[in-house]
Amino acid sequence: MLRIAIAQLNFKIGDFESNTSKIADALFTAKNQGVDLVVFPEMSVSGYMPDDLLDYPSFVEKCEYSLDLVAQSCQGIAAIVGGVMRNPGKGRLLQNVCCFMQNGRIETIIPKTLLPTYDVFSESRYFESATSQQVISFKGVNIGIAICEDLWDLYNNFEYTKSPGEALKELGADLIINPSASPFHLGKDSHRNRVFSGQVNRFNLPVLYVNQVGVHTELIFDGSSRAVNNNGEIAVQLPDFESCIRTVEFGENGFIPGENAVSFDSDPLPQLYKGLIFGIRDYFDKMGFKKAIIGASGGVDSALVQTLAVQALGAENVLAVMMPSRYSSDGSISHAQALSKNLGNECIQIPIEEIHQAYENSLSPYFKGLPIGIAEENLQARSRAVILMGLSNKLGYILLNTSNKSEMAVGYSTLYGDLCGSLSVIGDVYKTQVYALCRYINRNEEIIPNDIIEKEPSAELRPEQKDSDSLPPYPILDGILRMFLEEFKGENEIIIEGYDMHTVQRVLQLVNGSEYKRYQAPPILRVSSKAFGKGRVMPLVAKYP
C-alpha cells in the first residue's frame, strides 16, 4: 500500500524562501504521519507563471537551488516537486520540470512535453518540450508523471501530435500523477470531470491530479485536486479555493475512497461568489495590501464589489466614498448609505459639484460654441477618479474598479475615470451575472438593498439618463457578447441565432472600437473561459468585422 499526500498549496511567484518553506513543512508533517510520497503542484518552487522573470538567469538559478534545497528534506520520504531548470539539450534555454526526490537528492527530472500556448498560456515562449517519457518505480508502483497539459491532450480545440499519457501506458505505468497549475473559470470543474473520466477510461489507469490554489495577477487557481480510479470513481476530492493536504492510499485495486471527498453544487453562482472573494483576498495578501476604497454610486455594480470586498477583507478595511453630482438622485445616496449600514463599513460623502464646475470653467473658453455632450459627462467620472486616487495615495487604500464585463466590452466606461483602479473585481462578470450574484447574496437576508437591484441602471451623468439610452437591454447585450467573446462566433452566426442584425452590428462595432480602453484597464480577475486581459490579445489598429 502506497500512502500519497496531495499537497494543494498556495505559492507566490518568485518567493522562493516562502515556497520552499511551505514544501519543507508539508514534507515534515507528512513524514510524521507515515506518508510515502508527497505530490506538489506544477512549478511549485517558482510559482506559476513567472513570465519574463524567466529571462533573468538569477531567477532560474534560485529555482534550481531551491529544488536542490527541497530535495535535502526528502529523507525517509519521497516527493514530486515542480519547478524550472535549464535545458541540457538544444532548443529553448529552459524546461518546465517535475523532480522526483528521495534519499536527500533529486533522482529523476521529468520535463513537460505539451506546452500550452493559447488563451492565458505562453509556455512555448520560454520552455523546450520533452522528447520522451519515463516511468518511475517506487515501492512497487510504476508511476508516470504527466505535467498538467500532458494529460489534457484531447480536450482542447485541437489535438496534439503527441500523447504523453499513451506513452506512459505503453511504458507500464500503474498510476499517472498530474501535477498542475490549472486556473479556474466557471464550468472548469465539469470540464475536469470530463477530462479525467475520459483519460482513466482511455488508458485504464488511475489518475492523481494535484492543482495549486491561489491568485497570480488575474489568474485564480482553485485547487479542486482529486484522485480518480480507472472506473471513473473520484476516491478523494479536495475543496476549492483552500490550501490543504490530504492523504490517499493506493493499492492493487487503485485508490481507496476517503471520507473527505467533496461534492460541488451544480449552481455556478456559489462558485463565482467564492472565487471573487478569494480573488480579492489573495491578491491583496500577496501584494501586501490591507485596505480597499470604492466609489459608491448607489448602483448595482459598486454595491456588488463593496459587498465582495467586505467579505474578503473585513468591513473595517473597506471605505466607500459617495461622490454625488448635480445629476445624482436622492435615492442613489440613500441606497449607498443603506448598503454600508448593512455591511458595517465606513461610508463618507464628498460632493463633486465644485470640482466639476471648476473643470468646466477652465475649459469653457475652448468648449465655447460646441454642444454639451460626452466630454462634460466624462469630466464628472474623472473628477471622482481624482478624489478616489487622492484618498488612496494619502490613506494607503487600494482602489477597486467596479466596471462589469458588459460595460468594458462596449466601452461604456470613462478612461481615467471609472475605469481607474488597481484591480478589476467584476470585469469578467456580465451585467446579468451581476444581478444574479446580488440576488444570491440576498438569498437569506437583504444585504444589498433591493431598491439597488430593482432600479433601472443609470450612469447619472446627465438628466434622466438610463443605460438603455445607449445600450441594448442587458440580456440581449450579454447574449451577443457571450457568443462573440467566448464562443468566437462572427456577425452572421450571431444573427442566425435570432438577434437583430443592426443590434449585432452596433454591439460588435462598440466592442472592437473600445479595445484601446481595455488596453489601459486594471488587471481583471478571470472567472470565464475568455476574459479581457492576457488571455485575449487583440491588435489596437485593426478593422474586423
Residue (of 178, 50, 49, 25) closest to 110 by Cα position: 178
Averaged confidence pLDDT in the chain: 93
For residue 24, give the 3-state DSSP assignment. helix
> What is the pLDDT averaged over residues 171-176?
97
Q: Pseudo-torsion of CA 187, 193, 196, 198, nearest 10°?
A: -100
List pLDDT tens digits, range 356-376: 999 999 999 999 889 988 898
Q: How confident is the model at residue 182 (pLDDT cuts 50, 70, 90)?
A: very high
> What is the pLDDT averaged over residues 166-175?
96
Q: What is the pLDDT of residue 266?
A: 63
Q: How confident is the model at residue 160 (pLDDT cuts 50, 70, 90)?
A: confident
Residue of higher predicted confidence among 155 and 269? 269
Q: Which of 153-157, 346-350, 369-373, 528-532 has the lowest mean pLDDT?
A: 153-157
Is the pLDDT at 221 greater than 60? The verdict is yes
Q: How confident is the model at residue 157 (pLDDT cuts 50, 70, 90)?
A: confident
CA distances from residue 391 to 340, 387, 397 in whole angstroms, order as listed? 18, 6, 7
List pLDDT tens digits, range 287-299: 999 999 999 999 9
- Residue numbers annotated as active site: 42, 112, 148
In sequence order, the β-bridge partners of residue 424 are 401, 524
Contact 226, 151 (CB under 8 A): no
Round to whole Å and give the CA distance between 428 and 414: 17
**To the nearest whole percent, how much of the chain has pLDDT over 90?**
85
Q: What is the pLDDT of residue 368?
A: 86
Contacts of 389 (CB under 8 A, 6+ apart): 399, 420
Q: What is the pLDDT of residue 325?
A: 87
> What is the pLDDT averaged over residues 227-242?
94
Q: What is the pLDDT of residue 327?
A: 79
Enter the C-alpha cell of residue 474.
442587458
Is the pLDDT at 470 greater than 80? The verdict is no
Radius of gyration of the chain (CA): 26
Is the pLDDT at 13 greater than 90? The verdict is yes
Is the pLDDT at 261 greater than 60? The verdict is no
In sequence order, the β-bridge partners of residue 322 are 349
Round to whole Å and give the CA distance between 525 and 280: 8
Residue (of 320, 322, 285) closest to 306 by Cα position: 320
Is the pLDDT at 204 greater than 70? The verdict is yes
Q: Look up residue 371 and give its DSSP letter.
A: P
Q: How confident is the model at residue 42 (pLDDT cuts 50, 70, 90)?
A: very high
List pLDDT tens digits, range 23-39: 999 999 999 999 999 99
Is the pLDDT at 142 greater than 90? The verdict is yes
Burial 88-98 (b: 16+ CB within 10 A, else e): eeeebebbbbb
| Distance in angstroms between the alpha carbons of the first and the last residue of the chain | 60
Is the pLDDT at 463 greater than 70? The verdict is no
Q: What domains appear along the chain, each with residue ranges and CATH number?
A: 2-251 (3.60.110.10), 270-518 (3.40.50.620)
> What's phi and psi for 334, nearest 5 deg?
-65, -35
Work out the number of other CB atoms within 10 angstroms of the CB of residue 515: 16
**To the nearest whole percent, how much of the chain has pLDDT over 70?**
96
Q: What is the pLDDT of residue 542?
A: 82
Is the pLDDT at 262 greater than 70? The verdict is no
List pLDDT tens digits, range 450-462: 999 998 876 656 5
- The answer to whether the predicted template modeling score (pTM) of the entire model surpasses 0.75 is yes
Q: What angle do CA 59, 40, 157 make, to 5 degrees?
A: 85
